[in-house]
Structure 1
Amino acid sequence: MAGSTSADVVVVGSGVAGSLVAYRLAKAGASVILLEAGPRLARWQIVENFRRAVDKRDLCAPYPLLRHAPRPEPMNPGAYLIDRGATPYRPQYLRLVGGTTWHWAGAAWRLLPSDFRLKTLYGVGRDWPFPYETLEPWYGQAEAELGVAGPDIDLGSPRSTPYPMNALPLSWMDHRVAEVLGAQSYRVVPEPMARNSRPYDARPACCGNNNCMPICPIGALYNGATHADKAEGAGATLIAQALAYRIEANDRGEIVAIHCKDPNGLSTRVTGKRFVIAANGIETPKLLLMSTSARFPKGIANGSDQVGRNLMDHPGTSVNFLANEALWPGRGPVEMSSIVDFRDGPFRAQQSAKKLHLSNAAPTLAVTWNLLGKGLTGGELDRQIREQCARRLTFGSFHEQLPSSENRVMLSAQKDALGLPRPEIAYSIDDYVRKSAADTHAQFERIAGIFEGTEIEYNDTPGASSHIMGTAIMGRDARDSVVDAECRAHDHPNLFIAGSAVMPAGGSANCTLTIAALSLRLAGTIEASLR
C-alpha cells in the first residue's frame, strides 16, 4: 500500500457511518476512497471463530485482535484503553470492515424531539443546533437503508414515513412480560430493529438464532459491511488494514491528505478534496489529537479545545431474578422489548432520562457458570439449568448522560505496537445519572416483586453501554464545539466528522439510527458541495 493515492472524497472508517457516506457519494458519481484500520472478514469466518472460541462469555472473541489496529479487550481491561478517571470506562468496539455493527442487538431507535432541546426545556446539558424535524426525513432514509422492522404504534418520535418492514413477532416471554407489567401501569413496547422480518435488501428474514451478539449467522441483522460492499459496487475503493494516523492540513486550514500505515508500518499518503472522519467516539478524537503541526499545535479541528471532551455513553445497570413462572427467554432475537415510561418528563431537570429493556438472550451460559460455582454436578446440575433457564429474567437500562468537559479522551504517553499513543480516558458518573440509577433500582425492585422474583441480583454500578458520544461535539459556536450543524469542522472547510462523536445529547436510546441519519445528511451536504 506504500505510496500515494487520491480521490474526491476520503473516508476514514468503514462502520455504519463511513460506509453509508461512501456509498451515497460513490453512487452520486464521486470518486471515493474508504480506509479501514482492520481486515475484511466473511461472515462464515466470524461464525467459525465463535464456534471455536474457548470462552463464549467474551462476545468479542470471534473478531481479530490485531497488533497494528488494537481495540478494547473485554476480558483484559487495560490492554488498550487506559483509565485515568474516577470511574473505569470499558466500552467494546470492533475494528474491521463493517465496524461494530457486526456485533450489536440491532435496536434502531429515533431520538425524541425533546432530546434535541434538553437545555431549552430542562436547563441542563446542550441543545442540538437544529430540531428533531430537521433530521426526521433522514431518519426515514436511514430506516430504509438499514432495513428497520418496527411496530405500528407511537414511540414518541413523529414519523413522515412508515417503517420499511412490520415488526418481528414477539417471543412468548416478551408477550407475557408486556401483559404482566402492562397491568401494573408500565408501558412495554416492541423495539424497532435493524433486522429483517421478511426478505429485504438481499438479506433473509430473521429465523431466531438468538446469536445476534456476537454474530448473526445468516445476515438477517444489518451490519455496516452491507454498505461497504455497496460502496465498492458503486465504484468506491476500499482499502482494508490501512490505519489512519495523521491528518495533514495546509497553512490555510484546508485538509490535504490522510496518512495511514499498513500492518508492516509502511505509510501511504491519501489526498482528496473532501475528508470524512468516521472512526468512532474514541478513535476519531485520537486521530484528530495525534495530527499536530506548527500551524495546529493542539491537533486538527481543535481550536475550541473540545476534541476528546464531552465523552458520553448510556451508563447501564441491570437486574436478574427467577420469575414465578416459566417464560423461556432465548427464543428469537436477543432483545425485543423496552419499557419507555422514563424517556422524558420534567424530572430531566434533576436526573437523567432512561430506557429499560428486557433481555431475550439465552441465559444458559450465565446460569451454568453460576451453578458450577456452587458446586453442582451431574443430574442435579442438569435439572437446575433447565429450571433456572426457563424462569430467569434480566432487565437492563440506558441512562442519559450530560456532556462534561472533564469526561474526555486523551493521548497517553504509552504507545501501541506501531508507536502510536494509546487512548487515555478520564471518566466519571455524576449525580444526574446516579439519582436516576437509584430510581432504576427501585423500578427493578418493583418489577421483581411483580414476578415474585427469587435469587434477585442487582448490578447497580453504571457501566459502559458502548454508545460512545460527544467527543467531537456539534454546536453553533466554534468556541465550544468541534463541528457545525452540517458536521463540518469549524476549523477546516473540507473536513467532516461522521458518527456518534458529534452528538451533543444522546437521550436514553441506542444511537445507531441517529448515526445513520446524520451520515446520510452529511453525504448530501458533501454531494452538493462537490457539484
Structure 2
Amino acid sequence: MANDHSADIVVVGTGVVGCLIAQQAVDAGLSVLMLEAGPRVDRWRIVENFRNLPPSLRLFHWNAPYPPKPWAPHLETRTASEQEQYLQLEGPNARAYLQGYVRYAGGATWHWAGICWRLTPEDMRLRSLYGVGRDWPFGHEIIEPYYTRAEYAIGVSGPSDPMLQWPTNGKRSKPYPMGPIPFGPGEHRFTEAAAKLGMINLPAPQARNSGVSYDGRPACCGNNNCFPVCPIAAKYDAATALPKIEAKGGKILANAVVYRIETDEKNSIQAVHFFDPDKRSHRVTGRLFVIACNGIETPKLLLLSKDERNPNGVANSSDQVGRNMMDQPKLTAELELQEPLWTGVGPVQSSSILNTTQGDFRGRHAGAMFRMENFARSPLGAAAALKKGLVGKALDAEIRRLSACTARLTVEHEILPSANNRLTLSSQKDWLGINKPNIHYDVGDYVRRSAEEYTVPRLRRLAAELGATKFQLSPEFLNSDHIMGGCIMGTEPATVVVDTDCRAHDHPNLFLPGGGAMPSATASNSTLTMTALALKAADAIVNQLKHG
C-alpha cells in the first residue's frame, strides 16, 4: 500500500503520461505514489477564473485561469518582467519556445486542444529516407498497437473511412472508439478551398466524446471553449483520471515540488526529495521511479540531481539530457474576408492538412501541418471594433462583420533535433531556491527554408482562395506547446538518454517517458505519441516489478 513516504512506483508528474502509467500499475496490483508540484483544483474553479478574467487576458492567454503558486511557477508569468520570468529563453528564435504548460494536477491536458494525430512510418525514418534528423529505434509496426491502446484509454473520436484517417489508408488494428465530430461551416469552406490547391483537409482525431458518453465523461456539446478549459469534461484531461487512480489505491500528493533524485552505491534510484509549500524537505523511497513532468521539467530535474556518481546529472552520462529540445515552430496569418466564414461551431480545432508533411523535399526543408483555427471570433471582433472608436449601431454592425468575416490560419513546421537546442540550469532561482530552466533555441535553416519556399506561399494561396482582403503574417516563429526532446530515445547509450521502453540507460529503475523521449518531432501534434510511449513504458515497468 502506498503512503506519503514510499511505494512500489513513485511517479513524478500527474499529466496524461504519468496517469496512464499509474493506472496500469495499480491495475497490476502495484502500489503507486504520485507527486505533483502544483495544486489540485476543481473544474468549476478554472471555469470561474476564466469567466472573471479581464478581456485583455481572455484572448490567447490560456494559462491565465491557472494562477501559479509561488512554489510552482509556470508560464502564466510570461507577462512579468524579464527577471521574474520562470522560463529563461535565449537564441535566435527564443520566442518560439515560450511554452504554455501549467504546473497543476492534471498538467497541460487541462487546456490542450485534444488533437490526436499518429506519426507515419516515414516520420520515424528521417535519417534513412531523407538523410536528415534521427531515425526511431523501432518501426511503425511496433508503435501502432500502443497508438490504438492510447486512443481507447483516453477516448478518441475519429473517422471510419481509411481515406480520411492519418496515415491515409494506413494499417490500424482497431477502429476509433467513437465516430468523428462534424465540421462546422467554416471548416467546410476551408476544406473546399484547400482541395483546389491539392491540399487535403482531414477530420482530426480528437480526445473528445462525439455524441456519446465515454469513460464517465459526457458528449461534447460544442462549447468552443476547449482551451483554456472544457467546462463539462467532454474532452479528456488527466485531472479526470486522478480520482480513478485513488479509488484503486493510488496515492496523490499535490504541492510537492521534487527537486532532487537520489542514487545509491549501485547507481540505482533510491529516493526523490521534494519541498512542500512551507519549504520543508521530504524524502520518498520506492522500487521504481517514473519522471513524467514534461519535456522541460524532467530534464531540469535530472540536471539538478548531480552527485559524485553522476557529475553531469542523473541519466546524463551521454551529456544528452536537455539537448535536442523540440517543438513545431508555428506561423499564423490573420485574415479579413469578403464573405462570412462562421468559425466557432464545434471544438476549437477539428481538422488539419497533413499531406504537406510528407515528401522527398524533407531532405531539404521541413514539412508542415496547416489548419484553420475554429475558435469563435466574437471576442477579437469586439476588441477590434472598439479600437475603431465606433458606438451604437455602427459598433454592433462592425462587431458582427469582424466576428463572421475574419479567420486565423496556422502552419506548424517539423524541426530537426539539434544538440545546440539545449536546456541548462539558469543562475536565476525560483521562490524555493531551485534553478530556473534556461533554453537556447534556434529553429534552424531547415525550418526557415520551409517557411520561405514552401509554407508561407501556400498560406497566401489558401488565404486568396478563401477570399481574403487582408493578410497579416506573424512576424516571428511562435510556440505550438508540443514539448519534445530533452531525453531522447535510442539503442546507443553514448548518444541518447533512454532505451526503447523509455528506461534510462544509466539507471535500471528510472523511466523517463513521454515527449522528451521522442527522437523526432514531425509536424503534427505530439500528445498521442506521448501516450503511446507511456503505455509501452507501462508494460515494461509492470513486467520489471512483477517478473523481475
Work out whether the TM-score is over 0.5: yes
Corresponding pairs, count: 529
* 8 A contact 1:204–1:219 mirrored in 2: yes
Aligned-residue Cα RMSD (Å) equals: 1.4
Matched, 1:186 2:213: no
Tell me how far apart the structure 1 counterparts of residues 265 and 471 of structure 2 sit (CA, whole Å).
61
Does the residue aligned with 1:150 lie in a helix, a strand or coil?
A: coil
Superposition deviation, residue 378 in structure 1 = 3.2
| CA deviation profile, 1:37-68 (whole Å, cap 9, x unmatched) | 01111111110111111221222111121100
Trace 1:381-420 onto structure 2 (pairs within 5 A).
381-420=395-434
2:347 to 315, 333, 354: 333
Tell which deviates more after alignment, 291-300 or 149-158: 149-158
Q: Which residue of 2 is the match for residue 66 of structure 1?
A: 69
Does the residue aligned with 1:165 lie in a helix, a strand or coil?
A: coil
Q: Which residue of 1 is the match for residue 536 of structure 2?
A: 521
Superposition deviation, residue 31 in structure 1 = 0.5
Q: Which residue of 2 is the match for residue 130 of structure 1?
A: 138
Tell me how far apart the structure 2 counterparts of residues 294 and 51 of structure 1 sit (CA, whole Å).
51
Tell me how far apart the structure 1 counterparts of residues 475 and 204 of structure 2 sit (CA, whole Å).
24
* 8 A contact 2:93–2:477 mirrored in 1: no
Matched, 1:196 2:190: no
Q: Which residue of 1 is the match for residue 435 of structure 2?
A: 421
* 8 A contact 1:437–1:462 mirrored in 2: no
* 8 A contact 1:108–1:192 mirrored in 2: yes
Q: Which residue of 1 is the match for residue 14 of structure 2?
A: 14
| CA deviation profile, 1:471-521 (whole Å, cap 9, x unmatched) | 011111111100011101010010000110111002111011111111011
Superposition deviation, residue 380 in structure 1 = 1.8
Matched, 1:51 2:57: no
Q: Which residue of 2 is the match for residue 25 of structure 1?
A: 25
2:166 to 148, 155, 159: 155
Superposition deviation, residue 394 in structure 1 = 1.3
* 8 A contact 1:4–1:269 mirrored in 2: no
Does the residue aligned with 1:149 lie in a helix, a strand or coil?
A: coil
**Code of the aligned partner of 2:105:** V
**Code of the aligned partner of 2:58:** K
Tell me how far apart the structure 1 counterparts of residues 459 and 384 of structure 2 sit (CA, whole Å).
21
Tell me how far apart the structure 1 counterparts of residues 115 and 409 of structure 2 sit (CA, whole Å).
15
TM-score for both structures, normalised by structure 2? 0.94
Q: Which residue of 2 is the match for residue 85 of structure 1?
A: 91
Q: Which residue of 2 is the match for residue 167 of structure 1?
A: 180
Trace 1:284-363 onto structure 2 (pairs within 5 A).
284-363=298-377
| CA deviation profile, 1:327-370 (whole Å, cap 9, x unmatched) | 21111100111112211110000111111011100112222323
Tell which deviates more after alignment, 486-495 or 167-176: 167-176
Tell me how far apart the structure 1 counterparts of residues 244 and 143 of structure 2 sit (CA, whole Å).
24
Tell me how far apart the structure 1 counterparts of residues 185 and 194 of structure 2 sit (CA, whole Å).
14
* 8 A contact 1:441–1:460 mirrored in 2: no
Q: Which residue of 1 is the match for residue 79 of structure 2?
A: 75
Does the residue aligned with 2:10 lie in a helix, a strand or coil?
A: strand
Superposition deviation, residue 248 in structure 1 = 0.2
* 8 A contact 1:355–1:508 mirrored in 2: yes
Structure 1 consecutive aligned stretches of length 4 or more whose deviation exceeds 6 Å: none
Superposition deviation, residue 76 in structure 1 = 3.5
Superposition deviation, residue 192 in structure 1 = 0.5
Does the residue aligned with 2:357 lie in a helix, a strand or coil?
A: coil
**Code of the aligned partner of 1:478:** P
Trace 1:209-224 onto structure 2 (pairs within 5 A).
209-224=223-238
Superposition deviation, residue 4 in structure 1 = 6.6
Superposition deviation, residue 452 in structure 1 = 2.2
| CA deviation profile, 1:377-402 (whole Å, cap 9, x unmatched) | 33222211101211212111111111
Tell me how far apart the structure 2 counterparts of residues 284 and 115 of structure 1 sit (CA, whole Å).
25
**Code of the aligned partner of 2:510:** L
1:492 to 504, 507, 516: 507
Q: Which residue of 2 is the match for residue 143 of structure 1?
A: 151
* 8 A contact 2:487–2:498 mirrored in 1: yes
* 8 A contact 1:112–1:507 mirrored in 2: no
Tell me how far apart the structure 2 counterparts of residues 194 and 77 of structure 1 sit (CA, whole Å).
36
Does the residue aligned with 1:486 lie in a helix, a strand or coil?
A: coil
Tell me how far apart the structure 2 counterparts of residues 160 and 255 of structure 1 sit (CA, whole Å).
37
1:105 to 86, 103, 113: 113
Tell me how far apart the structure 2 counterparts of residues 342 and 521 of structure 1 sit (CA, whole Å).
29
**Code of the aligned partner of 1:56:** R
TM-score for both structures, normalised by structure 1? 0.97
* 8 A contact 2:4–2:251 mirrored in 1: no
Tell me how far apart the structure 1 counterparts of residues 188 and 391 of structure 2 sit (CA, whole Å).
34
Q: Which residue of 2 is the match for residue 5 of structure 1?
A: 5
Q: Which runs of 5+ in 2 are unaligned?
A: none
Matched, 1:275 2:280: no
State percent identity of aligned pairs.
47
Tell which deviates more after alignment, 284-293 or 45-54: 45-54
Tell which deviates more after alignment, 171-180 or 340-349: 171-180
**Code of the aligned partner of 1:39:** P
**Code of the aligned partner of 1:291:** S
Tell me how far apart the structure 2 counterparts of residues 287 and 378 of structure 1 sit (CA, whole Å).
56
